[in-house]
Each structure stands twice: as C-alpha cells, then as structure tokens.
Amino acid sequence: MEPGNGTQISEFFLLGFSENRPEIQPLIFGLFLSMYLVTVFGNLLIIMAIIVDSHLHTPMYIFLSNLSFVDICFTSTTVPQMLVNIQTQSKAITYACCITQVYFLLLFSVLDIFLLTVMAYDRYVAICHPLHYMIIMNTRRCGLLILACWVTGVLNSLLHSFLVLRLSFCTDPEIPHFYCELNQVVHHACSDISLNDMVIYIAAMLLAVGPLSGILYSYTKIVSSIRAISSAQGKYKAFSTCASHLSVVSLFYCTLLGVYLSSAVTQNPHATAMASLMYTVVTPMLNPFIYSLRNNDMKTALKIVVWRVTRNRPMDLPS
C-alpha cells in the first residue's frame, strides 16, 4: 500500500513500553494478560446474566449489556497486539493494522461515551418521570438510541480514518504509545495535517463535551428530584438505582481527562502511554465489578449464572 505521495511504508513502530527492562517483560505480559482475561470474562458474565434473567430485560440493562460488549471490543483492539509485541519482543505493527486499530479505537471509544450518555438519560427518565418511564423508554426508542450510538461512532471513525489514509509518511514512523493513537499517527505524517487537526479538535468538542453536558444535565435533574423525596428510604432507593452508572461515568471521564491533562502538562509520551492504560484497560476491567457490587439485581443474576454453570445446568434462555 502506498499512502498519498510519500515513500511506501509497511509498518509503524509502537514504543509505549520500550523503556522497560527485558527481564521484567514476562511480568508485564502476565499482568496485562490477566487484566485482559478478567475484562473479557467479567463483561461476558454481565451479558450472560442479563440474557438469562428475565427481570433484567429492561432498558437500563439492555444499555448495560451493550456497554459490556463495547468494553470487550475496546480492550480487544489494543491489548492482544500489545501482548504479541511483548511476547515477540517486536514493536512493529503493519500499516494496515495500524489504520484498522485507529478506526476501531475511535469507534468503541465514541460508543462508550454515547452509551454512558444514553444510560444517564434512562436514569433521568426513570427517576424524574417514573409514571411515564415505560412509555418514553419503549423498545422502539431504546433500539433507536442504540442505533444512533453506533451510526455516530461508525461515521466518526470513517471520517478520521479516511483523513489519515490521505496522508503520506516518508519513513516508518515511531509512535510513542502502546497502540496507534490517532493524534500521534497524524503528527508523524510528512504531508499537510491542518485538515486532520481541525477535524480532530471539532470532533473532540462535539463528541466529548456534548455528551458530558447531557450527563451533567441529567444528573442535575436527578439530584433535584431526589432532594424532593420526603422519606430517607425513598431517597436511598432512588440514588441506588443510578449509583453504579455514576461510578462508571466518574471513572471513565476522570481517567480520560487525566490522560489528556497529563499529556498537556508533562509532554512525556511514555507517561501519557502509561496513563492511557487507565481508560483503555483498567476502566473496562473495573466496570463489571462496579455494576455487580453496587447492584443487588445484578448480583442475584450473576449468582444464578455461576450456579448453573458450576452445576452444568441449562441456562433456560428466553425464546
């Protein structure tokens, strides 16, 4: 493949962990393999629990199952390639694989953001308009919201990917990251990147600030409604229904914000790569624990799944 008018390149080099000593590479490999397996199996358990338990066939858990699926895909976009590079002691990733990784990273990160926003809207309707909840959050609307998340993510990823494909790279670029991060890839091009930079900044404003504003607005209304509840038990019940989601939102946005603030302050690519692990690896791993530990319905469903699996009982999947 020959991108643009530049010299033909075959691969990029990912330098995210190049400073680590060779003798600790097996430890790093084992650590990230363990985190990846916990992420995959933890989120799969969440999905299985929601499928098996008919009581969880509600909009809130439908969105949660989609979030768990996206978290699996998000982590699978980066960690397997990183494990291969550590195991083979190679930093190379082919040009095609790098562009593909850019596409799917953008897709699943945007899906994460929009699904968290949709879940905040769902909690807003459930607490602020409980009598009309089933009318507003009907099956058709839930499907349209999920479809809108996917369409937005796909279009955004296609736009950035096509803009990267038009760039030319004069040498095999060295990316100071453990995955092909869009901004790093763009700034290693030897052609004009002004259009790419403009689109990246505009998209960041629209796809990050917009959803975050929606989440903050939803929880402002939720807090106002909870404060209006007279009984302490009613307040606790209302808050407990969105505590898990609020914890996940806080974890995701705090780690994401921390990455970009640290990169702006320290200008240390290695430190930024390490910080990026928080929202690309650690956050998807912790989400199942947050939802299972802070949600009684989810804990009950998970116990049923584990009990049936350990005793080889049929899952009694709904028709």
Q: Per-residue confidence of the chain (319 residues) as pLDDT tens digits?
A: 444 444 457 788 887 665 556 667 788 888 889 999 999 998 998 898 888 877 888 888 899 899 999 999 999 998 898 888 888 877 888 888 889 999 999 999 999 999 999 999 998 998 888 888 889 999 899 999 999 999 999 999 999 999 998 888 877 677 877 888 888 888 888 888 889 889 988 888 888 788 989 999 988 888 888 887 777 776 776 677 777 778 788 877 777 776 666 555 555 666 666 667 777 888 888 888 887 766 677 777 777 777 776 766 555 544 4
What pLDDT score was predicted for residue 2? 44
Calculate ∠ Cα 179-86-96, nearest 5°. Answer: 40
Q: Which residue segments constitute the domains of the chain, with CATH numbers given?
A: 11-310 (1.20.1070.10)
pTM: 0.85
Position 309, amino acid? V
Which residues make Cβ contacts (< 8 Å) with residue 247, sequence separation at least 6? 290, 294
E strand or H helix that includes residue 16:
none
In 3D space, the residue among 64, 142, 155 whose CA is nearest the CA of residue 107 turns out to be: 155
Distance CA 287, CA 251 (A): 9
